[in-house]
Structure 1
Amino acid sequence: MKKSIYQVGAVVILSAFLAACNTDIDEPTTSSAANEEPAETEEVQNEEQPETTEANETDESDDASSDQQEEATETSEDTKAEQEDKADNTTLTYISNGQPFEEKVVTSTSDEMNYTIQHFENYTLTSEEPGVDSLLNNADEATSMQIEVVQKEDVTFDQLKESAKETISAIAPDSTKDLDLASTLEERKEISNIVGYEALLEDEKVVKVVIERENLFVTLTIYDNVQADLTDAFLQMGLTIQ
């Protein structure tokens, strides 16, 4: 009987001991898991923080880009306004009957040929025939200028020069002269070559001028008279062709 009591007591003691052991083993596991959770939370916070930083950097970049675009737009508008103002105030000076004159000019584009010209406000650019335009003096129909523009690959300066000289010689064989245009080359660096001839028939004048620019040739045929003397006016306008 005592032996059975001892056995039961031993079993009870052993069970209590095992229960205590199990408690000691489980507690560290629970404690470890609790300790790991803050670490995971910190990692999640660290992962989320760069996104916030990147978002802030993106906002700052967008703001800077917007500011730059606004500045570029303002600069573009200012430049355009300056160009328009400059165009409205562009003038050309010419000599007529020994007197200097200065007039405002406007810019026109040829309908048939790929060029622009600056001309006085009371003149009109019109297409006369394929390859030939006319600049007409609205105040005097007796004075005008024909314009022919060709690309360099189509002809040479010497060919155009020879053709102009032959035309003038045929108009007035006994009253022709070469024009002195040396000052034009000195004053206008964009003109690489220029030559001119004049034929005089009583009080009427016909002038042929061949101009070489970087990318094209221009042939001007000016119809003028002694009274109007607008040859230099037409020439100054013709020199702006480009």
Structure 2
Amino acid sequence: MKNNLLLLMTLFLSIVILAACNTAEEPTTEPASDSITADSDINNNAEEKEPPITNEEQEEPQTDSEEVKPEISYTSNNEEQTESTTSVDSEKYTIQTIEGFSLTAEEPGKDVLYYEKDDSIFMRIEYATVNDTTFDDLVANTEETMSAINEEYETFDFKTYHDENKLTNSAAYKTNFEDEEVLMVVYEKGDSLVRLTIYDHAKYDLSDAFIKMGLSVQPK
């Protein structure tokens, strides 16, 4: 009888000890759940802080480095050509010049725009204002100059240039020596009076280009 009682007590104690061990070894899952939640919150906050990419950011920024330059269209040897121009400063005015032409000062009030490939092809530019002289006086002096060059000079039809450039007054004359041509133009625009003297050759035929550049003169 005592032996049976001792056996039962021993079994009871063994069960109690095993239950206690199982309870101590049972893993807890709540911290892991909290860790996952915290990581998720961090990722969500990081995504919320990143600004959205807009269409404006995806487009390439526009730059103003490529400036649109004025152009001059002219006829040379029966071919129509269009060239971009560069603004060049003289003492009293600015002029739009085509690539391949250079402006140089000759004397006060007179400049020369010459063809770089052949400087015998050039245009003398004389600039004045209505306070310096009158259109009629400048035309009279031009006729005397043309007569000294060749008494058989003739008038040159300048109406097309006159209308296109809204000139107040204009007059033009020309004379030829075989393949060479001398052309003189006087025009009034606003307060400016300009005389152009062009020396051209049939080989180049740049009179129209010279005239178009000469008509771009603007006072400073």
TM-score where L is the length of structure 2: 0.67
| Number of positions where the alignment pairs a residue of Structure 1 with one of Structure 2 | 157
- Measure, in 1, the Cα distance between the counterparts of 2:77 and 2:136: 32
Find the counterpart in structure 2 of residue 198 from structure 1.
Answer: 174
User: Structure 2 CA distance, aligned partners of 1:185 and 1:220?
Assistant: 14
1:106 and 2:86 are equivalent in the alignment: yes
TM (norm. structure 1) is 0.61
- Pick one of 142, 166, 172 that aligns with 2:144: 166
Equivalent residue for 2:162? 185
**1:190-223: CA deviation from partner (whole Å, max 9, x where unpaired):** x211111001122211111001010110000101
Percent identity of the aligned residues?
A: 38
Post-superposition CA distance 1:36-62 (Å, at most 9, x none): xxxxxxxxxxxxxxxxxxxxxxxxxxx
Distance 1:107 1:219 in 2: 19
> How many Å separate the matches in 1 of 2:202 and 2:147?
19
**Residue number in structure 2 paired with 1:29:** none
Q: Distance in 1 between matches of 2:87 and 2:203?
A: 27
Whether 2:114 is the aligned partner of 1:136: answer yes
Q: Secondary structure at 1:232's aligned position in 2?
A: helix
- 1:238 is matched with 214
Gaps of 5+ in 2: 1-61
Does structure 1 residue 154 correspond to structure 2 residue 132? yes
Report which structure shows greater RCO (CA 8 Å, sep ≥6): 2
Is 2:123 the partner of 1:123? no
Alignment correspondent of 1:228: 204
Looking at structure 2, the residues matched to 151 and 185 of structure 1 have their Cα atoms a distance apart, in angstroms, of 18
**CA distance in structure 1 between the partners assigned to 2:211 and 2:123 by the alignment:** 9
Structure with bigger helix share is 1
Q: CA RMSD in A?
A: 1.8
- Is there any run of 5+ residues in structure 1 with no aligned partner, and where? 1-77
Name the CA distance, whole Å, in 2 between partners of 1:230 and 1:106. Answer: 18
